[in-house]
Amino acid sequence: MPDYGSPLLFGTFITPANAQPEAPVALAVLSERLGFDLVTFQDHPYQPSFLDTWTLMSWVAARTERIHIAPNVLNVPLRQPAVTARAASSLDLLSGGRFDLALGAGAFWDAIVGMGGARLTPGQAVDALSEAIDVIRGIWNEGERAPLRIDGTHHSLHGAKRGPAPAHDMPIWIGALKPRMLRLTGRKGDGWLPSLAYLQPGDLQRGNAAIDEAALAAGRDPREVTRLANIGGQFARGSGGFLVGPPAQWVEQLLPLVLEDGVSTFILASDEADAMSRFAEDVAPALREAVARERGASGVDLAPVKRASVIALRREGIDYAAIPAELLAGAVEPGDNAYAKLRSTYMRGGSPGLVLRPRSTAEVVLALAFAREQPVALAVRSGGHGISGRSTNDGGIIIDLSALDAIEVLDEGSRRIRLEPGAVWMDVAAALQPYGWGLSSGDYGGVGVGGLATAGGIGWLARGRGLTIDHLVAVEMVLADGSVVRASAEENADLFWAVRGAGANFGIVTSFEFEAYDVGEVGFAQLAFDASDTAGFLEDWGAAVERAPRDLTSFLIMGAPRAGQPAVAQLMSVVDSDDPETVIERLQPLADLAPLLQQSVQLLPYAQVMANAQRGHHDGRGEPRSRSGLLEHITPAFAAAASAMLASGEVQFFQIRSVGGAVADVPADATAYAHRSANFSIVALGARAEELNRLWDGLAEHFTGLYLSFDTDLRPERLTDAFPVETIARLRVLKTRYDPRNVFRDNFNIV
The reply on whether position 387 binds ligand FAD by CB under 6 A is yes
The reply on whether position 475 binds ligand FAD by CB under 6 A is no
Query: Which of 214/508 has CB closer to ligand FAD?
Result: 508
Q: Which of residues 533-592 bind ligand FAD (CB under 6 A)?
A: none
Tell me which stretch binds ligand FAD (CB under 6 A): 143-151, 254-262, 308-316, 373-381.
373-381
Q: Which of residues 157-176 bind ligand FAD (CB under 6 A)?
A: none
Which listed residue (103, 214, 354, 401) binds ligand FAD by CB under 6 A?
Answer: 401
Query: Which of 383/396 has CB closer to ligand FAD?
Result: 383
The reply on whether position 504 binds ligand FAD by CB under 6 A is yes
In angstroms, give the least distance from the CB of 387 to ligand FAD. 5
> Do 211 and 246 contact (CB within 8 A), yes or no?
no
Q: How many angstroms separate the most distant Cα atoms in the chain?
A: 99
> Do 591 and 599 contact (CB within 8 A), yes or no?
yes
Tell me which stretch binds ligand FAD (CB under 6 A): 232-240, 426-434, 444-452, 645-653.
444-452
Tell me which stretch binds ligand FAD (CB under 6 A): 112-120, 178-186, 202-210, 503-511.
503-511
Name the nearest CA neighbour of 743 among 359, 449, 392, 482: 482
The reply on whether position 438 binds ligand FAD by CB under 6 A is no
Tell me which stretch binds ligand FAD (CB under 6 A): 63-71, 446-454, 667-675, 690-698.
446-454
| # residues contacting ligand FAD (CB under 6 A) | 37
Neighbour tally for 83: CB within 10 Å: 12
In angstroms, give the least distance from the CB of 449 to ligand FAD. 7
What Rg, from alpha-carbon coordinates, does the chain have?
31
In angstroms, give the least distance from the CB of 153 to ligand FAD. 46
Query: Which of 141/681 has CB closer to ligand FAD?
Result: 681
Query: Which of 534/747 has CB closer to ligand FAD?
Result: 747
Neighbour tally for 278: CB within 10 Å: 19
The reply on whether position 450 binds ligand FAD by CB under 6 A is yes
The reply on whether position 508 binds ligand FAD by CB under 6 A is yes
Which listed residue (391, 492, 626, 628) binds ligand FAD by CB under 6 A?
Answer: 391
CA 705 to CA 625: how far, in whole Å? 18
Q: Which of residues 112-151 bind ligand FAD (CB under 6 A)?
A: none
CA 605 to CA 553: how far, in whole Å? 16
CA 615 to CA 647: how far, in whole Å? 35
| 3-class secondary-structure state, position 101 | strand
Residues, the chain: 751
The reply on whether position 71 binds ligand FAD by CB under 6 A is no
The reply on whether position 719 binds ligand FAD by CB under 6 A is no
Element (H, E) at 367: helix 361-372
- As to burial, measured by CB atoms within 10 angstroms (0-12 exposed, 13-18 middle, 19+ buried), residue 316 is exposed
Q: Output the CA angle 84-86-88, nearest 5 degrees.
A: 65
Tell me which stretch binds ligand FAD (CB under 6 A): 80-88, 96-104, 311-319, 442-450.
442-450
> Do 294 and 260 contact (CB within 8 A), yes or no?
no
CA 96 to CA 90: how far, in whole Å? 10
Does residue 73 have a cis peptide bond before it, meaning omega lies within 30 degrees of 0? Answer: yes
Which residue type is seen at 357?
A: R
Which residue type is seen at 635?
A: T
Tell me which stretch binds ligand FAD (CB under 6 A): 49-57, 174-182, 501-509, 661-669.
501-509
Q: Which of residues 326-355 bind ligand FAD (CB under 6 A)?
A: 345-347
In angstroms, give the least distance from the CB of 490 to ligand FAD. 21
Tell me which stretch binds ligand FAD (CB under 6 A): 247-255, 389-397, 481-489, 563-571.
389-397
| 3-class secondary-structure state, position 56 | helix
Query: Which of 457/501 has CB closer to ligand FAD?
Result: 457
Query: Which of 106/450 has CB closer to ligand FAD?
Result: 450
Question: CA torsion sign, 176 to 178 to 181 to 184?
Answer: positive
> Do 557 and 655 contact (CB within 8 A), yes or no?
yes
What helix, strand, coil percent values describe the chain, rounded to 5? Answer: 40, 20, 40
CA 181 to CA 130: how far, in whole Å? 9
Element (H, E) at 486: strand 484-488
Tell me which stretch binds ligand FAD (CB under 6 A): 123-131, 258-266, 454-462, 715-723.
454-462
In angstroms, give the least distance from the CB of 329 to ligand FAD. 21
Query: Which of 131/443 has CB closer to ligand FAD?
Result: 443
Query: Which of 227/385 has CB closer to ligand FAD?
Result: 385
In angstroms, give the least distance from the CB of 95 to ligand FAD. 29
> Do 676 and 663 contact (CB within 8 A), yes or no?
yes
Query: Which of 85/467 has CB closer to ligand FAD?
Result: 467
> Do 661 and 462 contact (CB within 8 A), yes or no?
yes
Interacting residues toward ligand FAD by CB under 6 A: 345-347, 379-387, 389-391, 401, 421, 442-444, 447-448, 450-452, 454-459, 503-504, 508-509, 709, 747
